[in-house]
Amino acid sequence: MLENINLEKKLSREEYKRMLPSLQMRLYELEKACWDQGVPSVIVFEGWDGSGKGTAISALSQRLDPRGFRMYSTQSPRAYEQQHPWLWRFWLKVPSRGEMLIFDHSWYGRMLGERINRSISEKEWRRAGRDIVDFERMLADDGTSILKFFFHISKKEQKKRFKAMEADPLESWRLSKEDWERHKLYDEYVGAIEEMFEQTDTEYAPWVIVEATSTPFACRKVFETVIASLERRLGAGAPPKSDQLANDADLREVMESLEGQDARDSRSNAPA
């Protein structure tokens, strides 16, 4: 599957900046409608290290009402969490009525990182796929809207981005020895990712592969996918689209704050 993804898709930074205000305004309107109507949602971000997940999450969340969403950056389970069933720590974070949850990495670490580094047995990671399908099905049956994004870049592109981060004193702290070790295992991860898609891509919790060579393209795709999904979930309860573009000073300030990150991504994406 991944080898057939067109990673050449692009969007100019200027076009993205032009579209961003209306995309953020529309998502804010939908967030409020979900809150008012008690519709919970879960948005999962998975993908390669250095693929731009953080930039997309920042853009997605900056205009949301902080009272209506939470964001979790999932780390390895702590000692006390390992004394419970492995999904226990995620059950504690399921959204309340009307709330939006954004996961920067998630329960899929069981089928990816924990599998590849052999910290769990084959029996455990194979069972994890069934556990996840049941977990997501229960959330969906209870009315939760679920979207799962996988940010995809090539091995060559990942190496180029890592090299760019290493050379930047303000960015080098983000790169670790473990990132390079996972880079060496890129091909092994591809097999695990393909199997993860096969087992856990469902009608009620679909995977969306994001072509992330171009950061503006990736961000736009995330916005448009989330907006379309929430509009479908709300149905007749979705608010009408606003005719007025968001052009207030606060939003322009948000756009300028993202410009610096966009510029660094653009340098990383430049042809070698």
Question: Is residue 269 assigned to a domain?
Answer: no
Question: Is residue 270 assigned to a domain?
Answer: no
Question: Is residue 222 assigned to a domain?
Answer: yes
Question: Is residue 266 assigned to a domain?
Answer: no
Q: For 20-44, what is each residue's pLDDT tens digit?
A: 999 999 999 999 999 999 999 999 9
Question: Is residue 263 assigned to a domain?
Answer: no
Question: Is residue 181 assigned to a domain?
Answer: yes
Question: Is residue 264 assigned to a domain?
Answer: no
Q: For 209-257, what is each residue's pLDDT tens digit?
A: 999 999 999 999 999 999 999 999 999 999 998 765 544 444 445 445 4
Q: For 102-135, what is each residue's pLDDT tens digit?
A: 999 999 999 999 999 999 999 999 999 999 999 9
pLDDT of 243: 62
pLDDT of 57: 97
CATH number reported for the structural domain that contains residue 173 in this entry: 3.40.50.300
pLDDT of 1: 83
Domain count, the chain: 1
pTM (predicted TM-score): 0.88
Mean pLDDT, residues 138-159 taken together? 97
Question: Is residue 257 assigned to a domain?
Answer: no
DSSP letter for each residue of the chain: -GGGS-TT----HHHHHHHHHHHHHHHHHHHHHHHHHT--EEEEEEE-TTSSHHHHHHHHHTTS-TTSEEEEE--PPPTTGGGS-TTHHHHTT---TT-EEEEES-GGGGTTHHHHTTSS-HHHHHHHHHHHHHHHHHHHHTT-EEEEEEEE--HHHHHHHHHHHHH-TTTGGG--HHHHHHHHTHHHHHHHHHHHHHHH--SSS-EEEEE-SSHHHHHHHHHHHHHHHHHHHHGGGSPPPPSS----HHHHHHHHHHHHHHHHHHHHHS--
Domain enclosing residue 144, as ranges:
2-252
